[in-house]
Chain A
Amino acid sequence: KNQVEQSPQSLIILEGKNCTLQCNYTVSPFSNLRWYKQDTGRGPVSLTIMTFSENTKSNGRYTATLDADTKQSSLHITASQLSDSASYICVVRGGSNDYKLSFGAGTTVTVRA
């Protein structure tokens, strides 16, 4: 069964601090992994996408890493801002039905002043 597990479930950080979110997956075969940011009641917005051959990808203050051997990914947020408060979802494309995305449950990040 294709699974995507994220940790921690939630975290609270002070504005200006860094944090790292984790994602482990069992999806096989693997096509790509994407991190999305989702504000409450809004649709997911893509932050980064990585394929099998990519180890790291940055988008501003967001840096994602991928270890395809261990099937692990991380999302690092640098110098957090209040607007970073959201749910961050790890989504893996692949498996026997390539069109179907496997979603993690998300990590809820709260940034406090």
Chain B
Amino acid sequence: DTEVTQTPKHLVMGMTNKKSLKCEQHMGHRAMYWYKQKAKKPPELMFVYSYEKLSINESVPSRFSPECPNSSLLNLHLHALQPEDSALYLCASSRNLAGGPQETQYFGPGTRLLVL
């Protein structure tokens, strides 16, 4: 199983709403990532978890709150978002954070978020 799943596929929320994005993998990977991708732009790294601990926060605003309940799950909690936060949110996983030349990240299908 080389699949990363994400739910929901689409999400529309108002600026006062609280919502969560979910990501799951069963490949035994110990590193998981959240990316934000705007249209026609490359993905931008947001957070990295390694062994269920937050390792990297790329100066992301506090209205985005990640959570890693266990080694297979990664959540992204959203609160008081702005319209400019509308984007495709991608989850990825890899065996380890720095696993050598063959290390690669497997991406999920993404959640398309629209903030009104």
Contacts and interface: CB of A to CB of B under 8 A. Distances in A.
A60 interface: no
Nearest to B45: A100
Interface residues on A, range: 20 to 34
Nearest to A99: B97
Contacts of A43: 4, 6, 90, 92, 107-110
Nearest to B107: A43
Bin the interface of chain B by size.
20 to 34
A86 interface: no
A86 B57 CA distance: 30
A109 B4 CA distance: 25
17 contacts: A32-B101, A32-B104, A41-B88, A43-B6, A43-B90, A43-B108, A44-B90, A45-B107, A46-B106, A89-B42, A98-B98, A99-B31, A99-B48, A99-B55, A99-B56, A99-B97, A105-B42
Interface of B: 4, 6, 31, 40-43, 45, 48, 55-56, 88, 90, 92, 97-98, 100-110, 112
